[in-house]
Amino acid sequence: MSRNAQITFPWADGDYTFRLGWGELEQLQEACDAGPYVILSRLQDDTWRVGDISHTIRLGLVGGGMKMTDALLKVRKFVEARPPAENLLFAQVILSAACVGAPEENVGEEGAPSPAEENASTTSPTES
């Protein structure tokens, strides 16, 4: 049984794929000085910090396949230049998918990637 945690939805100026794999979750943890569930809890109970929102979206874009520089530019334009609450729900959805799986994922069905395949596709912190 394996979950990819990939989710695609309309955001900013188009449809984007977001995914927080193991590497992105480690980067998020370091950037926010908290574990994924602590960050998710803050996003859900209104104790969030602005970095919880921006880092979740940026790293979700990177994990979804966007180049780091492009993800940073998107976040600067569509997150950091806007009121934080506009992107709160998006950050919640992205991090929830990473922690518990995307709603459309069929856990345990044939064709799901093995843990080895999933780990091979995880972005390393040094990739750009």
pLDDT score for 46: 93
Packing angle, helices 36-44 and 85-100, rounded to 10: 140
Instruction: Please give the model's pTM, rounded to 2 decimal places.
Output: 0.79
**Which tokens in the block code for residue 20?**
């927080």
Question: What mean pLDDT comes out for the span 3-32?
Answer: 94
E-strand ranges in the chain read: 7-11, 14-18
Question: What mean pLDDT comes out for the span 61-77?
Answer: 98
CA distance 72 to 69: 5
pLDDT score for 24: 97
Would you say residue 128 has pLDDT above 50? no
